[in-house]
Amino acid sequence: MSGGLLDGRPRVQLSLDLTGLDEAIATAEIGVRAGVDWLEAGTPLILAEGLHAVRALHDRFPEHPVKTMDAGYLEAEMMFRAGAAFVVVMAVAHEHTVREAVRAGRERRGHVMADLMLHPDKPGMARRLEEWGVDVVIVHTGYDERHHDARRTPLEDLAAVRAAVKLPLQAVGGLSIEQAARMPGLGAPLVVVGAPLAVADREFRPGADPEGLFRILRDFVAAVKGPAS
């Protein structure tokens, strides 16, 4: 199921962790103009707008795969039908929840990412996820976890997970922009940048400074993938 989307080359994902569709679309437009590859309908957006957000992003940006987070056959199949190219299932879910999400992906020609957040044995779990057929493993430090302990980042576990599996990796949560741009060199070529962005104590979002956000994203894409030829 890897195909062209998971061909080993670095990809930049813009996570739209926003609560309104208009702002999400505006941010996505800036990201696409800056050169991002994938768009994520983040959890706040899904909670606020539901499947409508996935359909709207897919219709507006048909050449940019949409990623969303859910699990199990029914929910995954709904997301794929709405236009999502990727869904995420939590590694701490039951084995058959993971397998059912994978089944939906196979039937709908979609991809399944598995998130290792809070699993006590991330390398061992990553190996099982590879056996169960997932397409990508995410090494993730959650929002509340890293805000409770600012020392926690995916870098603690990334090397061990990289050594455990051959699958593409994504590392997310608690990374600076500079750290995130270095992820391909550490074996995690599917790079995430969030929106809005907080840089040097300033928040960048479409309504406040769209050109500032564009410049940050453009420079980030270039740092990950190299300057456009």
Lowest mean pLDDT among 87-91, 118-122, 181-185, 201-205: 201-205
As a whole number, mean pLDDT of residues 71-75 equals 84
**How many beta carbons lie within 10 A of that of residue 159, not counting itself?**
13
Per-residue pLDDT reduced to its tens digit, 140-168: 998 888 889 888 899 999 999 999 999 99
Q: Per-residue pLDDT tens for 56-71?
A: 999 999 999 998 866 5
At 220, the pLDDT band (50, 70, 90 cuts) reads very high
What percentage of the chain carries pLDDT values higher than 90? Answer: 76
Q: Specify the pLDDT at position 114.
A: 97
Q: Can you give the pLDDT at residue 72?
A: 86
Residue 12: per-residue pLDDT: 97
User: Average pLDDT in the 205-216 region?
Assistant: 84
Whole-number pLDDT of residue 204: 75
What number of CA atoms fall less than 13 Å from residue 93's CA on the CB side? 19
d(CA 19, CA 127): 35
For 8-28, what is each residue's pLDDT tens digit? 899 999 999 999 999 999 999
pLDDT of the residue at 221 = 96
Q: Please, are residues 77 and 107 in contact by the beta-carbon 8 Å criterion? A: yes
pLDDT at 1: 41
Q: What is the pLDDT of residue 226?
A: 83
At what angle are helices 51-60 and 21-34 packed, to 10 degrees? Answer: 30
pLDDT tens for 81-125 read 999 999 999 999 999 999 999 999 999 999 999 999 999 999 999
132 HSE (CA, 13 A, CB side): 26
Query: Residue 200: pLDDT band by 50, 70, 90 thresholds?
Result: low
